């Protein structure tokens, strides 16, 4: 039992680290897009993650940086986070 709890705790720490990396990565995308947009169209540092604003951010990012792979890395972060979350559920048998 104790080994499962420790393993679950460590995996939760990994999930938190992946979440932090994803947030920092997203903020870098906001900064890169804002650097090329006029002042009136820039994204605020807080509040851009609502579904409509996020869709606009990603479409602007794809338009301004066509061949960049940052969004692919974000998808990898999401998949890894989900995999670790499922691992926690499997280990702790919630």
CA distances in angstroms from 26 to 5, 49, 74, listed in the order given: 31, 9, 8
pLDDT digits (tens, 9 = 90+) for 1-55: 687 788 778 888 888 888 888 888 888 889 999 999 999 999 987 887 788 888 8
pTM of the model: 0.74
């Amino acid at each position: 039992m104790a080994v499962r709890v420790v393993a679950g705790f460590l995996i939760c720490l990994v999930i938190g680290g992946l979440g932090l990396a994803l947030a920092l990565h997203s903020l870098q995308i906001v900064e890169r897009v804002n650097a090329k947009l006029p002042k009136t169209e820039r994204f605020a540092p807080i509040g851009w993650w609502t579904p409509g604003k996020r869709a606009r951010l990603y479409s602007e990012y794809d338009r301004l940086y066509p061949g960049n792979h940052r969004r692919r890395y974000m998808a990898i972060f999401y998949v890894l986070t989900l995999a670790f979350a499922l691992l926690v559920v499997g280990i702790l048998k919630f």
